Structure 1
């Protein structure tokens, strides 16, 4: 069989890849319904209505994956990050998510996520730079 590899837009390619994965699981006898991804975000606003923090996430197949969390330097340590993560957890529970997962780096916030009740699943050493680590976390709901 001859084939070519070419770059393709996600909008064009992703539906076909998902279709292939769904067909594969059905051939194996798994009855897992198709799940459309839901993207969400929550912002923390100060008294002036300015964004001082935010979190974005995606729900797919009952997993709530936190993709981004940031809190303005002047607001760090005041509970804004914790409040954002509590909101994500409430949202996950209200939407029947099984767990929350996320990744972070050693120079970011692994201890923060542990304080939020997340369990470390593993690490990748020397990533994204030598001497740093990438952490994988999960919290079952």
Structure 2
């Protein structure tokens, strides 16, 4: 093993996706072939068409992963974030999700997510200097 070299992957190697393909094929032996990712992308606009907020997420292996949930400052406190979250969870359950997960900084919205049934399962201290990152999850239920 002393004759192994490490080098940056070439653009062609990256484009080929070979490394990821090899990992997926290994994983298939444990969980079966992966289902396709299903995206849930929601926007909220006012009557003039102004974008007030939105949500970006995906469903994969029975998990809803919320990447972005944002509401403009002047639209906060009126339930828009709750509506976006509930609709994403509803669509995710229809796509077969049984759980949801997300990450949020301590200055963002951990209290909002707790109010909606999410629990912190991990925390990374000093992720941004002086601030922790909350990793949160929730069981989803049909109905």
TM-score class, shorter: 0.7 to 0.9
Cα deviation for residue 41 of structure 1 reads: 0.7
Alignment-derived partner of residue 106 in structure 1: 106
Q: Distance in 2 between matches of 1:55 and 1:122?
A: 22
Q: Which runs of 4+ in 1 moved over 3 A?
A: 7-11
User: What are the within-5 Å matches in structure 2 for residues 50-61 of structure 1?
Assistant: 50-61=50-61
Q: Distance in 2 between matches of 1:74 and 1:9?
A: 46
Alignment-derived partner of residue 137 in structure 1: 136
Aligned pairs, how many? 137
Preserved CA contact (<8 Å) 2:40 2:88:
no
Alignment-derived partner of residue 8 in structure 2: 5
Unpaired segments ≥5 residues, structure 2:
none
Q: Confirm or deny that 1:47 pairs with 2:80.
A: no
Alignment-derived partner of residue 27 in structure 2: 25
Q: Distance in 2 between matches of 1:91 and 1:9?
A: 37
CA 1:40–1:6 in structure 2 vs 1: closer, same or farther (change >3 Å)? same
Query: CA offsets per residue over residues 100-125 of structure 1, 9 Å max, x none?
Result: 11000011010000011111111111
Cα deviation for residue 3 of structure 1 reads: 4.4
Cα deviation for residue 89 of structure 1 reads: 0.6
Aligned-residue Cα RMSD (Å) equals: 2.1
Unpaired segments ≥5 residues, structure 1:
none
Alignment-derived partner of residue 120 in structure 1: 120
